[in-house]
Structure 1
Amino acid sequence: MDVNSKQRRRHSAEFKAQVLAACAEPGASVAVVALSFQLNDNLVHQWRRGRGASPVPSAMSTTVAESAPQFIALSLPPLPPPSAPAIVAVAAVAAEEIRLEFKRGAIGVSVM
């Protein structure tokens, strides 16, 4: 008796691109999109990460590039003028606090 009697479905590149385009819509949920296309949401997540999807030139490639993280410039207070003694400059910089916070979902990390 064969336990895995179901055959794996094969999806065309055009179908995958259509699913990924639906995921890229503002406010779209991967789970809802997967359900509407009768797919498992884990499969759609794999396609979004680039595993299992053949490269198809489409509007998705520009959407991914636009949503990529951007450089954010931080402004720091100016250092004391060079004529000030070095010990005072070091003390002024050491007294200031630099703090970085990273959050992803419910997880947060603070670096001081």
Structure 2
Amino acid sequence: MDTIETKKRTRVRAYPAEFKAQLVAECEQPGASVAKVALAHGLNANMLHTWRRDAGGTPAGGKPGAQPEFVSLPLPAPTVPATSSIRIELRRGATSVAVSWPTDAADACAAWLRELLR
């Protein structure tokens, strides 16, 4: 006689919407970790990530897939005192050479230094 084996069906647990919302809100708190919140409630972090995605929450606070908005900030122009200079000091054994170069010619100083170090 042939016997048919039946597989035991695992039941997927359903969580109330209020519980999900509470955990998603906990994850949005400053300094909160999704993994810690999930562990504290005996859940897998992947499940909590899914709930956050379904709720529209992301770590950046925007919609999933949305690009963050670029915000341009005006910055003051860097000021270099007119009297400042680039000072390079080279030492080899007992010999020491110091060179001062005006900052407004920094590109020429860089080219000179590249040639010197070749």
Q: Which has the larger radius of gyration?
A: 2
TM-score (norm 2): 0.44
Larger relative contact order (CA 8 Å, sep ≥ 6): 1
Higher strand proportion (structure 1 or 2): 2
